[in-house]
Every structure is written in C-alpha cells, then in structure tokens.
Amino acid sequence: MHTFVKKFIVPLLAKRRWTRVCEIGASFGESTELLAALPSIAVTVIDPCLDCDLEKKFGDTSQVTVKRGLSLEVLPGLHNSFDCILIDGDHNWYTVYHELKVIADRGLLRRGGIVFLHDVDWPWGRRDMYYQPEMIPSEHRQTCELKGVVQGQRELSDRDGFSRGVPKATQEGGARNGVLTAIEDFMGEHKGEYEFSRLFGDDGLGILFRRQNATEDLSFLSVKRKGAIYNCLTWPKRVAETIYHRAGKPIR
C-alpha cells in the first residue's frame, strides 16, 4: 500500500484538499507518516498494533488518532464522515466485506469520497489470508494452512512459494474467498452507488468511488507527477492494463 499511498493517494488528497482520512491497517505507520504530512489533515488509524505500538509512535502527532483494535470492533463506534478510507488490514473476505458493509451502513464515507483497498490482485484477491484466524467466525473461515502460495497454482506448496508461515486459504478462488471477491459481493448489493476501478502492480489497488450523481466519471482522479498526468485510467498502463468497472458487472 505504501507505494500507492506515496505515488497516487497522497498527491490526489493534496490536489483535492481532502483532510478527513481513515486508515485501516497501518503496520509500522509508514503510510500514516506520509498522510500526516498533508496540510490540515486528520487521520484516524485503526489497527490492533500487531507490528508496532502506533499509539506510542503517534502520541505526539496531533493529526493522527490511533484506535487500537480490530476494524470490525472499532468501525461501528465511529461517527465520522471521511473523505477517504484506506483498507489494508486483514486480507480476507469476511473482514473486507464487513468493513465495506459497516462503512456503507453507518455512512462513514461521504458521497464523492473514495475507499482505497490494497491487495485486490494476486495473492490475496481470490485467496483469504488471516492475521488471527481465531478472530474470524468459523463459518466464514476458509480451511487454512501455513504453506507457500505460488502464482498460477490453486493449491498451496509444501516446498516453494510466498508468505510461508501466514495462515491462508488452502484453495484459491470460489465463493467468499479473497479481497476482490469481497468487493464484488459488496458491489452486487450496492448497484449504482459505487464505481470500482483498480491499479495493477504492487499487489493491486482497488478504488471504490461513492457517487454523488449518475453522470460523474473517474477521470478527475488524476495527479501530476514528474511532469506527467496520471489518473486511474492511464497511470497503471505503464505497469499493466487497467480495468474499469461499473457497478453490477463482474470484475475481470
């Protein structure tokens, strides 16, 4: 997420002068530091602080409020209307689907605001991973193992692969499995209100825009960087193809 925050999200927030941000999943707070450097910003961070004591780290930073806890425990107690919400916490269907649902039900994202979601591509787009499997209700938890994940291979590997030691779904794909599947399921229930697009590279960034009216398009999501204009339609073409998605249609 850090690369996307640096190259895309921070310049976009600066350009739009958006100031009310929620960051779910902050790890060591490196993206938080980039966000906190923006003028007039107020960042609400939600994280159980598994990697770092973020309350201590940002104790003297007035722009940052740390809510220590799991997103699904903390979000229902918020009353904010955010311009932008970054989701990069627990990368599994149950957590992401319910994060989006709570955000929508409680109106935590204002109309015209954006939810950015990391890890919409391989490996977690179609495969759950769990920071703390015991925190996910068993009926929503995939059978999981600590083996390696190998691109193009549905099964996990005993010998090779990435992210060994992290609990992850034994099988890739299928219902209620992975971050992108969670977004699709949420979109299917909110037809017309949200627009989704994604940037490829660095495990993929999902951009979920909450419409203000039916005629808006996402081309306003452009930033100038090193003399070139990038937006969510052109920026990732330097890396790979961008897929532009309308509510209700399947995400490729």
- Pick 83 or 88: Cβ nearer ligand SAM: 88
Helix (H) or strand (E) holding 112: strand 109-118
CB of 249 to ligand SAM, least distance (A): 29
Residues 198 and 206: their CA atoms lie apart, in Å, by 4
Rounded Cα distance between 59 and 47, Å, is: 15
Judged by beta carbon, residue 5 or residue 187, the one nearer ligand SAM is 5
Kindly tell me which of 89 and 113 has the beta carbon lying closer to ligand SAM: 89
Of the candidate spans 88-96, 140-148, 182-190, 216-224, the one that interacts with ligand SAM by CB under 6 A turns out to be 88-96
Whether the CB-CB separation of 180 and 189 falls below 8 Å is answered with no
Residues 41-70 that bind ligand SAM (CB under 6 A): 46-48, 50-51, 70
Count of Cβ atoms closer than 10 Å to residue 171 Cβ: 16
Q: Which is nearer to ligand SAM, 42 or 46 (CB)?
A: 46
Nearer to ligand SAM, 48 or 178 (CB): 48
Residue 134 burial (CB < 10 Å; 0-12/13-18/19+)?
exposed
Please state, as a whole number, how many other Cβ atoms lie within 10 Å of the Cβ of residue 89. Answer: 23
What is the residue whose two structure tokens read 């790890």? 27
| Cβ contact 47:25 at 8 Å | yes
Determine which residue in the list 71, 92, 142, 231 makes contact with ligand SAM, applying CB under 6 A: 71
Burial class (CB in 10 A: 0-12, 13-18, 19+), 252: exposed
> Which DSSP letter does residue 23 get?
E
DSSP class of 61: -
Stretch that binds ligand SAM, among 85-93, 149-157, 176-184, 185-193 (CB under 6 A): 85-93
Rg, Å, the chain Cα set: 17
**Sign of the C-alpha dihedral computed for residues 86, 52, 93 and 166 taken in this order:** positive
Cα separation of 7 and 12, whole Å? Answer: 9
Q: How many residues at the interface with ligand SAM, by CB under 6 A?
A: 21
Q: Is 24 in the site for ligand SAM (CB under 6 A)?
A: yes
User: Among 83, 90, 128, 172, which residue interacts with ligand SAM (rule: CB under 6 A)?
Assistant: 90
Q: Examine residue 89 and tell whether it contacts ligand SAM (CB under 6 A).
A: yes
> Minimal distance in Å, beta carbon 219 to ligand SAM?
26
Taking contact as CB under 6 A, which single stretch among the options 6-14, 84-92, 178-186, 189-197 is the one that binds ligand SAM? 84-92
Q: Which of residues 114-133 bind ligand SAM (CB under 6 A)?
A: 131
For ligand SAM, the binding residue among 9, 12, 18, 25 (CB under 6 A) is 25
In one-letter notation, the amino acid at residue 71 is S
Q: Is 92 in the site for ligand SAM (CB under 6 A)?
A: no
CB of 72 to ligand SAM, least distance (A): 6
For binding to ligand SAM (CB under 6 A), which residues are involved? Answer: 1-2, 5, 24-27, 30-31, 46-48, 50-51, 70-71, 88-90, 95, 131
